[in-house]
């Protein structure tokens, strides 16, 4: 094709008709609001968390700006339990909103100016959560130095009618314009606050007025401090400070009629585990400055699954506000073995993981994290360090319980042996050796993972007492050669080295009869990674038996 032909062909093409869509031609329908309100959260109490989270951000901003000290922040949650018009009010003493920006900010949808680095909430959709649970949603806010407060009211019943079944879609801007009213109130220039009133609660929102449901939820998720009953609170705070991220907290209080209760994290030293008690003896700490996370894991006797679902399982927090629940760590544990059987062990433990990596972002519902490369690296790291450690501790504690039981039985055997008026010199030597063996085991806390320190101390004291009694025990006179022995053996079962309850580090039983061959320990450890404890030991014993049967 010649140049003239190409020119003619180009001229024959239609001109570029690509045009931008006019702003008025873009319709964001009313059902968009349904996604952000009634369809947003599975648990209605997450709505309350959103308002606490916003109040926390406002308090943190007030502290950063020098408006008040860090320990002066307050969030008050007031329950109005009137049967005719139940309500819930959340008030913070944060920086508040300026009169010039308040109405625009409170009616904006997904247009938050917050920073994901410094703020817990940054999408600008959480404030809409209350629309699903009350008749009228009222925001009142004032900033220091201004003589007025701005009040923005949402007619929630009218808003919900726009996305009722069969309703015609309406532009979301029209929904807001027709459902929202703005007014101005007088205020003291010293005031700085934001108040959220959920008036005349409806649907599942009526549950907010039940303190027995509201307060446990708040203790579980809020960015609050530990209660004094949790003896390791200061260690966790020190860990956070050493990591360069002092634990951010705010004082949260509930008010119901005349009763006020401070909201503190639910961690304690003892938890119910069915018919048993899980007793916390220590904590282990973890951190990864490179990946941006740190945390702690409680060390207990791990008797079973914890019944308190506000603490069971290691929990994840960003800005000290909980993300999701125990399902996050359980999902990680599924990948530890092909069968996923270790998942069930996660709720035998308690602990917290604090995410500081700003590239790891909670999803919009805050029940997990956005799936990105950074979160996958963090998740894998936590699974291997924390998830695997939980499994190891739980299984080791089971072995420790068996070993401590044997040692307790051995103490009773020594007591019986010393109940006679005298002992033979040989028996005295054997009993003393047994006592010292058990004392050595009891002195090694690393070998008794999950053991109750009080029980170990009591057993230690008892064996030392028995050792002193043995020193004063008279020696039997030797018998004539022709005189028959009344007893051929006086040593009680459990006194010798063959039943000393000695265990390896992390509670792995090594007493003869339990691990008859040194190879068995290694085989059990390998099989334990894929199988349950009993099955691993059973197969290991069969392997040893077949190895011994091989011709030399």
Handedness of CA 45, 47, 51, 54 (dihedral sign): positive
How long is the chain?
Answer: 552
pLDDT of the residue at 147? 95
Give the per-residue pLDDT at 356: 96
pLDDT tens-digit readout, 361-410: 999 888 999 999 999 999 999 999 999 999 999 999 988 888 888 999 98
Contact status, residue 303 vs residue 346, Cβ threshold 8 Å: no
Q: What does pTM read for this prediction?
A: 0.78
Residue ranges and CATH numbers for the domains of the chain are: 26-209 (3.30.565.10), 222-370 (no CATH), 393-474+494-514 (no CATH)
> pLDDT per residue over 346-364, tens digit each?
999 999 999 999 999 999 8
The whole-angstrom separation of Cα 55 and Cα 58 is: 5
Is 261 a residue whose pLDDT tops 80? yes
Enumerate the β-bridge partners of residue 322. 317
At residue 157, φ and ψ (nearest 5 deg) are: -60, -40
- How far is Cα 43 from Cα 242, in angstroms, rounded to an integer? 35
pLDDT of residue 220: 98
Task: pLDDT band for 512, please (50, 70, 90 cuts).
Answer: very low
How does DSSP classify residue 384?
A: I
Percent with pLDDT over 70 in the chain: 80
- Whether the per-residue pLDDT at 17 is higher than 70: the answer is no
Tens of pLDDT along 231-254?
999 999 999 999 988 999 999 999
Of the candidates 397, 287, 394, 379, the one whose C-alpha atom is nearest the C-alpha of residue 335 is 379
- Does 377 or 473 have the greater pLDDT score? 377
């Amino acid at each position: 094709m010649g140049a003239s032909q190409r020119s003619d062909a180009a001229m024959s093409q239609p001109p570029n008709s690509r045009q931008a869509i006019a702003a008025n031609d873009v319709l964001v329908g009313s059902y968009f609001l349904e996604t952000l309100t009634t369809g947003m959260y599975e648990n209605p109490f997450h709505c309350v968390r959103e308002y606490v989270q916003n109040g926390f951000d406002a308090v943190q901003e007030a502290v950063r700006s020098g408006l008040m000290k860090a320990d002066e922040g307050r969030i008050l949650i007031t329950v109005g339990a009137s049967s005719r018009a139940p309500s819930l009010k959340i008030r913070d003493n944060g920086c508040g909103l300026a009169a010039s920006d308040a109405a625009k900010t409170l009616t904006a949808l997904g247009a938050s100016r917050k920073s994901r680095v410094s703020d817990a909430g940054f999408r600008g959709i959480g404030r809409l959560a209350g629309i699903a649970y009350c008749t009228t949603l009222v925001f009142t806010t004032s900033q220091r130095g201004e003589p007025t407060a701005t009040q923005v009211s949402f007619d929630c019943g009218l808003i919900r009618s726009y996305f009722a079944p069969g309703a015609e879609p309406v532009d979301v801007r029209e929904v807001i314009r027709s459902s929202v009213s703005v007014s101005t109130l007088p205020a003291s220039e010293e005031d700085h606050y934001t108040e959220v009133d959920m008036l005349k609660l409806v649907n599942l929102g009526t549950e907010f007025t039940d303190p027995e449901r509201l307060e446990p939820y708040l203790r579980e998720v809020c960015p609050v401090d530990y209660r004094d009953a949790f003896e390791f609170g200061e260690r966790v705070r020190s860990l956070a400070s050493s990591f360069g991220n002092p634990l951010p907290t705010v004082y949260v209080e509930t008010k119901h009629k005349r009763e006020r209760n401070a909201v503190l994290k639910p961690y304690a030293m003892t938890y119910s585990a069915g018919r048993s008690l899980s007793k916390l003896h220590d904590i282990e700490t973890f951190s990864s400055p490179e990946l941006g996370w740190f945390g702690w894991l409680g060390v207990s006797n791990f008797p079973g699954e914890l019944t308190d679902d506000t603490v069971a399982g290691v929990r994840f927090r960003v800005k000290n506000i909980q993300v999701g629940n125990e399902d996050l760590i359980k999902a990680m544990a599924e990948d530890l073995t092909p069968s996923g059987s270790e998942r069930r062990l996660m709720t035998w433990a308690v602990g917290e993981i604090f995410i500081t990596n700003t590239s790891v972002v909670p999803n919009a519902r805050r029940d997990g994290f956005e799936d990105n490369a950074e979160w996958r690296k963090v998740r894998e790291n936590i699974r291997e360090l924390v998830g695997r450690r939980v499994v190891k501790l739980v299984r080791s504690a089971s072995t420790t319980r068996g070993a401590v039981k044997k040692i307790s039985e051995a103490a009773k055997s020594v007591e019986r042996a010393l109940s006679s008026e005298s002992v033979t010199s040989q028996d005295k030597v054997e009993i003393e050796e047994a006592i010292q063996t058990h004392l050595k085991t009891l002195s090694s806390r690393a070998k008794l993972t999950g053991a109750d320190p009080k029980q170990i101390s009591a057993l230690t004291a008892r064996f030392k007492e028995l050792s002193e009694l043995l020193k004063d025990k008279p020696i039997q006179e030797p018998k004539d050669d022709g005189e028959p022995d009344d007893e051929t053996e006086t040593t009680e079962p459990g006194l010798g080295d063959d039943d000393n309850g000695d265990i390896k580090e992390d509670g792995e039983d090594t007493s003869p009869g339990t691990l008859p061959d040194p190879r068995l320990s290694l085989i059990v450890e390998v099989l334990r990674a894929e199988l349950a404890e009993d099955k691993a030991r059973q197969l290991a014993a069969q392997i040893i038996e077949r190895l011994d049967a091989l011709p030399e």
